[in-house]
Amino acid sequence: MSNGSVKSHTEYDAIVVGSGAGGGMAAYQLSVNGLKVLLLEAGRSYDPVRETPMFKLPREAPLRGSGSREKPFGFYDATVDGGWEVPGEPYTNAPGTDFRWWRARMLGGRTNHWGRIALRMGEYDFKPKSRDGLGADWPLEYKDLAPYYDKTEMLIGVYGGDDDMENTPRSSPGVLHPAPAPRAAELLTKKHAAPLGVPVIPAHLAIMTRRQDADTLPKKLHPGNKLAQKVLGDSMRSRQACFYATPCGWGCSIKANFQSTTVLIPPALATGNVDLVPDAMVREVTVDKNGLANGVSYIDKRTRTDRHVKAKIVVLAASAAETARILLNSKSAQFPQGLSNSSGLVGKYLMDTVGAGIGGQIPALESLPPHNNDGASGMHMYMPWWLYKEQLAGKLGFARGYHIEFGGGKDMPGNGSMNFLENLTEGAYGKRYKEAARRYYGSHVWFDGRGEMIPNEDSYCELDPEVVDQWGIPVLRFHWKWSDHELKQAVHMQQTFAQIIEAMGGKVGGTVQTDGNKAIAKGGQIIHEVGTCRMGSDPKTSVLNAHCQSWDVKNLFVTDGAPFVSNADKNPTLSILALAWRTTDYILDQLHKREI
């Protein structure tokens, strides 16, 4: 095991580029099965156990913890060197496009600060074109991924209920941790949403509400593999159940939630089969005379020198857009248009999640007596999409649905959480202001829709013909367009949220838009970008096969969000993890058969 430079003459069984959800899972699964793995990360090393400010208060931080250009999600957010803008590493937008690209640039990637919402895709989500004629079908079905969802949930720890609703599949018995009890604002919302026909059920989040059974789970997940059982058992014993004390986005030093840096990378390193190299900016995947991948060229950011490392297999998991960039920059005589791009589809069909939100003030929540509002920093309940039949009948005017994330109540005051008082107190100060704060604090609720985007030919990324980053690597140029389906969906979101708020006796804050362009979040703003290397059953219309294996280069695989054919309303991380596990099983099988 090492954490730094590697000797260029070393040849690995596999190089994994990226250490987030897909890369962390790939490195873990390959290493516990005996492969020698080199894990390359473009950002710096990061240790949540040592670096997380778990029990700090906003008042202990500059600007009381508020966000800044460097820290948009607050001073204590777990992101180290990444964000919407990374110094020296620009990207560009084509005329008429305003796409936002979030890059983590740290060990573990976005798994350090994501929302931990872990929803399974359902049967409809894998075959959307067969259902409504739009977009494309995946070359696999829900039943193909269901066992990997079970195993992934047991490995990382996910809480949730056992509701089994249309296209909202439940987990197998005993897989999930118990969901935490709903809070007052959630119960009130459920009460008033029910008459509107909107279901409110326990959410699924990658947060442990109990300790994992470290004596039996490793044997169940890795039967017959003593090395995997040992390193996973040790890892599970080091994890605590959630303390209900601090925002997950700050990172978790007790390892209660899922982060690649606490759940996947430590047991992978414990095998002794992984060399980890942070600050490694990958430029391209190299190929041999037979057109097979033979390694990776990267820049050591600390010394600004070029390095080349060799491997029998290359796994890209740098994030959907970054993986596309690496492939497009991997040009050679055999692959003049970039690697794995015979279809011309690398970078194409880029998708993000449709987002729109609105909140309101609820008089019924004013002046509540002090009560226990503890819980996970994320939501305890959510609203899955409920209008599948109406949508299929063409009654809604848009083809794909959304789920609703919501919350409210007397949480720990955070960034700007008292700003709303100005509109309610008419300039009160002193004693009157304190009385108003006690009355109104906790009386607001918020609703955010997270919806499906249908892939389109106008949303893609390509290499900018002129701009390079500080390492001399051509940067991405984004093209983006929402269709009428997404714009109408965003309007429907806001109208639904307003109905729920008014049913609760509340007053809607802000304007309920009738123009989808004003309601919808910008492309990339939800930070769920997927696509760019879609999988399929035909090499002419896809980049990868059903096992995330390149059609053109059989020892090249992709395990991040790039293989996604569609972007269901379900947040993508759980599916990235499950797909990565399925892909590594295929790699191991192909190696055993000597097919790669």
Q: Which residues contact 487 (CB under 8 A, 6 or more apart)?
A: 515, 516, 517, 519, 520
Phi and psi at 185, nearest 5°, equal: -65, -35
Task: Extract the tokens encoding 579.
Answer: 């797909």
What are the residue ranges of helices labelled H in 194-275?
217-221, 226-237, 265-270
**166 Cβ contact partners less than 8 Å away, ≥ 6 residues apart:** 122, 388
How far apart are alpha carbons 356 and 449 in whole angstroms? Answer: 5
Tokens of 363: 């008089």
Bridge partners for 159 per DSSP: 177, 205
Backbone angles phi, psi at 79, to 5 degrees: -60, 135
The helix (H) or strand (E) run that includes residue 185 is helix 184-193
* The predicted structure's pLDDT at residue 462: 98
DSSP notation for 8-21: TT-EEEEEEE--SH
Question: Which residue bears the tokens 């899922």?
Answer: 258
Output the pLDDT for position 5: 56
Question: Which of these, 517, 536, 362, 387, lies nearest to 455 by C-alpha position?
Answer: 536
Inter-residue contact 559 to 26 (CB < 8 Å): yes
What is the pLDDT tens value at each position of the chain, 596 positions in all? 455 556 555 789 999 999 999 999 999 999 999 999 999 999 999 999 999 998 888 889 998 888 888 888 999 999 999 999 999 999 999 999 999 999 999 999 999 999 999 999 999 999 999 999 999 999 999 999 999 999 999 999 999 999 999 999 999 999 999 999 999 999 999 999 999 999 999 999 999 999 999 999 999 999 999 999 999 999 999 999 999 988 999 999 999 999 999 999 999 999 999 999 999 999 999 999 999 999 999 999 999 999 999 999 999 999 999 999 999 999 999 999 999 999 999 999 999 999 999 999 999 999 999 888 889 988 999 999 999 999 999 999 999 999 999 999 888 766 555 566 777 887 888 999 889 988 999 999 999 999 999 999 999 999 999 999 999 999 999 999 999 999 999 999 999 999 999 999 999 999 999 999 999 999 999 999 999 999 999 999 999 999 999 999 999 999 999 999 999 999 999 999 999 999 999 999 999 999 99
E-only strand ranges, 425-584: 444-451, 460-468, 474-479, 507-509, 530-532, 556-558
Bridge partner list, 462: 477
SS3 256: coil
Residue 167: which region, alpha, beta or left (left: phi > 0; alpha: psi -120 to 50)? left
Statement: the pTM of the whole predicted model exceeds 0.85: yes
21-32 and 226-237 helices, crossing angle to 10° = 130
149's tokens: 């969802």
Alpha helix (H) residue ranges in 441-503: 484-503
Q: Is 591 helix (H, G, I), strand (E, B) or coil?
A: helix
Closest C-alpha to 26, from 553, 585, 574, 572: 585
Q: Which pLDDT score is estimated for 10? A: 78
* Cα distance between residue 284 and residue 15, in whole Å: 12
Beta bridge partners of 313: 14
How many Å apart are CA 535 and CA 417, to the nearest integer? 43
The dihedral through the CA atoms of 71, 73, 74, 77 has a sign that is negative
CB count in 10 Å sphere of residue 266: 18
Backbone φ, ψ for residue 563 (5° rounding) = -70, -10
Closest CA to 89 of 283, 276, 303, 327: 283
Contact indicator for 78, 313 with CB cutoff of 8 Å: no
Query: What pLDDT, on the 0 to 100 scale, is given for residue 111?
Result: 98
Neighbouring C-beta atoms of residue 15, cutoff 10 Å: 27
